[in-house]
Structure formats: structure tokens, C-alpha cells
Amino acid sequence: MYVPAAFAGTQDAARQLIDAEPFATVIASGAEGMIASHLPLMREGDTLLGHLAGPNPQADLLADCAKHGREVLAIFHGPHFYVSPTWYATKTATVPTWNYAAVHVYGVPKVTSEPARLETLVTKLAAIYEKAEWRFADQPRDFVAKMIGGIVGFEIPISRLDAKFKLSQNRPKADRDGVLAAIRPAEADFMRRYGAKE
């Protein structure tokens, strides 16, 4: 990912974005080309954890990447929005742009079909996102075994992480203030937090 110095996100900001926006695009490449899947991932320290359906051809491709030491890529997206030059205090020599945050995580995957590890993984993922009383452990054991038998789990130990937070840091303060006034409150909060420039 091309990351000009003005837009480089810190490692801490990247990890915060991963945790806040965990739905990722996982891309793996092999002899027959690339495959991408869209999956929720969980970060534990410097490792991403996830699972996909066993019939997904990417399951075999992840295993092949693991076997041959090839990296895969997980892409996380934060808020993004159009920026009109009409929002700037500077009205000439300006063009429209798009502000966004993205994190690219690279690592050689580890793949598992071991039932106990898969059940632990699925239980952890559900606990993060489930806000009600539903628990995976409360489901009938034969149902759990069937569900676990249909998935492949994986880990991606993070070997490198690129973060781009393009949030008008390259514009004068008056222009940034114009953008902040025009965008939605949640986007403005994100821009203030990660794109602040004094």
C-alpha cells in the first residue's frame, strides 16, 4: 500500500482500527491466482484469528500458503468519505478527494481443522460480537460437532502491518475545519482522533 509520510498511521492506531472494524478482506495467492474472502477476524496480540467454510477454495489455498511459507494479506477498512473542494477555505487550486483509513496485515497463515481448537475459536468470536444471551456452548453437542466439522480455522501471525490514515493532514487547518464541519459526526470524531495536525 502506498503510504505517504503525512498519512502514515501508528502501529497502535492500526491495532485500534483492527479491533474496532474487524470485518476484513483476506487475500491469498497461489499457482491458480488469487482468492479473497470477507471475514470477521479477531486480534489476539500480534495474531489474527478467523475461520471460513470448509468448501471455500480459500481454505485449501491458506493451507498451501502455510505449507510453502507464503504470506497472505488481510485488509481492514475504517471510515471513508468523499471530500469536496467546496468545503475548503482555500477555494482555488484544489480538487476533490477521498479520505479513508486502511490497515494491511501480512503474515504466513497457520491452518487447523482440530475440533477443540475450532470450538474455542468460534466461542471466542461469538463472545466478542454476541450481545444477547446466546452462547455457542449452550447449543446441542451434535449440532456443535456438525458446525465445527464444516469450517477451517486459521491464524495469521502478523509479520508486518501497514497503516494509512488519509484524513486531510496535508491541508491547512482552515481546510481541515471545513471538512470536519461537512462530514457526519462519527467521521469527524475519527478524523479528529487520528488525523489531527497542530
In a domain, 41, yes or no: yes
Query: Across the strands, what pairs with 143?
Result: none
User: Could you give the number of structural domains in the chain?
Assistant: 1
Any residues with CB less than 8 A from the CB of 124 and at least 6 apart, and which? 42, 49
Helix pair 115-129, 141-149: axis angle to 10 deg? 100
In a domain, 102, yes or no: yes
Query: Across the strands, what pairs with 153?
Result: 51, 112
- For position 198, what pLDDT does the model report? 58
In a domain, 147, yes or no: no
- For position 130, what pLDDT does the model report? 86
In a domain, 117, yes or no: no
In a domain, 186, yes or no: yes
Instruction: Read off the CATH number of the domain in which 96 is found.
Output: 2.30.110.10
Dist. CA 171–CA 119, nearest whole Å: 49
10-residue block means of pLDDT along the chain (198 residues)? 96 97 97 95 97 97 97 97 96 94 98 96 90 85 95 98 97 96 97 84
Cell readout for 20 is 474496532
In a domain, 146, yes or no: no
In a domain, 127, yes or no: no
In a domain, 85, yes or no: yes
Element (H, E) at 148: helix 141-149
- For position 32, what pLDDT does the model report? 87
pTM over 0.75: yes
